[in-house]
A = this chain, B = another copy of it.
Amino acid sequence: MAERHHQKDQTDELADQGRRTFLKGSAAMIGAAALGACSTNQQGTPHEGFTPPAPAPATHNKHEVKPGQLDDYYGFWSGGQSGEIRILGVPSMRELKRIPVFNRDSATGWGGTDFSKDLLGNRMSGDTHHVHLSYENGTYDGRYVYVNDKAGARLARVRIATMEVDKIVDIPNSQGTHGIFPQRHKTGYVMCNSEFRTPQVNDGRDLDTPANYAAMHTAIDGETMEVKWQVMVEGNMDLAATDYKGLYSFATCYNSEGADTLEGMMAADRDRLYVFNIPEIEKAVQAGNTIKVGDSDVPVVDARGENSAYVLRVPVPKSPHGVNIDPTGNYAVASGKLSPTVTVVDINKLADAFAGKIQPRDCVVAEPEVGLGPLHTCFDDRGNAYTSIFIDSVITKWNIQKAIAQYSDASVNPIVQKLDVHYQVGHTNASMSETKEADGKWLIALCKFSKDRFLNVGMLHPENDQLVDISGERMHLVHDGPTYSEPHDCVVVRKDLIHPLKVQDRKDARFAIYEAWAKEDGVDLLTTNKMIRKGKNFVRVYMTSVAPAFFLKKFTVKKGDRVQVILTNLDNVEDLSHGFCMSNHDVNFIVNPQDTQSYTFTADKAGVYWYYCPWFCHALHLEMRGRMLVEG
């Protein structure tokens, strides 16, 4: 099989210039086969001009992390439809943690504990798309992770200290929240794009008049998680990005036609890169030049239609997808999707365009052809960009300055290498690529189809997150990483920037809830082991634990009682989590070292019910249990 890998590596070659046309005849492309989703694998014959690849470098195996060794990077992955965030170690590509966000999690009780139930309501699913960390001065500050839910139009935040979600906010007037990006000069706004245009107000009016639909670009305060303002635009918005100075945010618009059908969305040859002028929008909000939409009190700047001080529309080839800012902060790169090009916008020219001194399109300084179906771009620290190419199933490495040179001198070739990936790559990201500290070590190709790359595990295949060594002049594929559905995006963060707690410091906002209950009941969470009847049908059960024992061995309730268990884990030792599972009551939750958690359920059956610690904590773990006696 090693031979097979080398054979595929031979297609790491320069661009097939025969593809140098925009995709035309969109109707013909609607069939999946035409777009490669169903194509057979792409070994084929080598491109013309083929030369044998260089032998694998001596560093080929440096991705292997041996037993006991630690990874160099934290990878934060969005979980797609799984609704979670994942942390992977890079380069080992081992999954170190799942953080439940919009999903229900059986292991930790997320969605069932009192705190998380309040955050999630009765909802059980989400579609996490983009995961980004909070910034300070152009690099990660190690405080928060933000992730959005496309399915439910929400934004969630993980506090890195605890690696748990501490806030979730609903985004008003929105559906299909897709791209998000935090500001990079400080923990400022997190900008969120609505992908789906809807009636504004969406209360039953304008049901079937898509021409009247509109979408929102929303600013959420990254500290308070409050929705601060929205900008209403006419088109579907896709990916988001922010500059490094706090001046602009960006959104690709793939349906400037405002259509409600596939054919309509692909009608125009050009779509738009929206550029939002944040200082000007803030001025409008402060001056009250806003409207309210529906039940929401969030101020909305109506920027539909024409270019204005708020929104500049840069024409780009049809249906752009990703937009990424290079580590110098000078360039925004929009990927073509239905054009084989990426469009490079010089951010420093935008002020002149907003001022009307130049045309929006004059900000474009390069438009290299990178392959069929360019989706996303990441960067190294040496002026190179790496674009994921969905239809061709390659990562195209290209040089930014050469692409700019090519824009006025067609003889310059900016393409450095194309590397086969397997298959149909969506997002790609590189180590520290979304910061000023991009370091050009590792690249992740998040491939949407794995086809034959893993043992057959049935109809639902894993995706394939491939690891690519980009430290040298040529890229090398070093690892196939199967992943559960459907990791959408990731960022790869140097490990010195991430410092979670090892035991709970009891300083989360969440503790105010437990302390309020304890105060109300006149008890101390750290020492109380008793049941307190709060009313005819409600009891609170305070309990503490040290491995291998709960310090309340039994409690007695009446059938029909609501029972709130408030459990404090007194163990003060790293990695010694306990939990509480009430047999046959669908109650299970985790309590980490020095943490408190609570869960409320109904004792709806008479009889004896054992509660037990489900987290293996001790040789006598199985004996860590007690009894709830339910009187009939």
Complex Cα distance A87/B454, Å? 11
- Which of these binds chain B: A107-115, A278-286, A304-312, A351-359? A107-115
Q: Please state if B456 and A502 are interface contacts (CB–CB under 8 Å).
A: yes
Roughly how many angstroms separate A449 CA and B587 CA in the complex, as a whole number? 24
A103 x B102 contact (CB < 8 A): no
Query: A124 on the interface (CB 8 Å rule)?
Result: yes
Q: Does A523 contact B (CB under 8 A)?
A: no
For A576-612 the 0/1 string (1 means CB < 8 A from B) is 1101010110111010110100000000001111101
Count of interface residues, chain A, beta-carbon cutoff 8 Å: 167
Q: List, sorted by A's number, 26 A–B pairs whose CB atoms are closer than 8 Å.
A: A67-B453, A67-B466, A67-B477, A71-B455, A94-B454, A94-B480, A103-B106, A104-B104, A104-B106, A112-B125, A123-B586, A125-B586, A151-B614, A161-B458, A175-B584, A176-B583, A195-B622, A204-B632, A207-B608, A213-B608, A262-B624, A448-B616, A448-B617, A456-B498, A458-B501, A460-B577
**Interface readout for A383-406 with B: 1 if CB under 8 Å, 0 if not?**
000000011000000000000000
Stretch from A35-43, A181-189, A220-228 contacting the other chain: A35-43
| Min distance, Cβ A45 to any Cβ of chain B, angstroms | 18
Q: Which 5 A/B pairs are nearest by Cβ-Cβ distance?
A: A163-B458, A204-B632, A204-B606, A83-B106, A459-B592
- The distance in angstroms between the C-alpha atoms of A202 and B70, with both chains bound, is 50
Q: Is A548 an interface residue (CB 8 A)?
A: yes
Q: Flag if A94 contacts B481 (CB, 8 Å).
A: yes
- Given known pairs A69-B2, A204-B606, the reply for A573 and B106 (CB within 8 Å) is no
Are the CB atoms of B112 and A66 closer together than 8 Å? no
A105 to B448, CA, bound (A): 20
Q: Is the CB of A68 within 8 A of B480?
A: yes
Determine if B590 and A68 form an interchain contact, defined as CB atoms under 8 angstroms apart. Answer: no
The answer to whether A153 and B583 have CB atoms under 8 Å apart is: yes
Contact present for A459 and B630 (CB under 8 Å)? no
Chain B nearest CB, measured from A422 CB (Å):
7
Contact of A593 among B107, B459, B553, B592 (CB under 8 A): B459
Whether the Cβ atoms of A198 and B608 lie closer than 8 Å is yes
Tell me how far the C-beta of A58 lies from the nearest C-beta in chain B, rounded to whole angstroms.
16
| A349 beta carbon closer than 8 Å to chain B | no
* Interface status of A495 (Cβ within 8 A of chain B): yes
Interface string of A20-44 (1 = CB under 8 A from B): 0000000001101001111000000
B107 touches A82 (CB 8 A): yes
Give Cα distance in the complex from A458 to B503, angstroms. Answer: 8
Contacts of A38 in B (CB 8 A): 547, 571, 573, 576
Give A102 to B107 CA distance when docked, in angstroms. Answer: 11
Known: A67-B422, A70-B454, A206-B608. 4 other contacts (CB 8 A): A74-B455, A89-B455, A458-B502, A459-B595
Q: Which of B208, B458, B483, B618 contacts A164 (CB 8 A)?
A: B458
B577 touches A152 (CB 8 A): no
Min distance, Cβ A343 to any Cβ of chain B, angstroms: 18
Q: How far is the CA of A150 from the CA of B616 in the complex (A)?
A: 14
Does A132 belong to the interface (CB within 8 Å)? no
Query: Which residues of chain B come closer than 8 Å to A202, judged between CB atoms?
Result: 607-608
CB closest residue in chain B, given A177: B583
B607 engages A163 (CB within 8 Å): no
Contacts of A68 in B (CB 8 A): 1, 4-5, 8, 422, 453, 480
From A84, A461, A501, residue with most partner B Cβ within 10 Å? A461
CB contacts (< 8 Å) of A4 on chain B: these are: 68
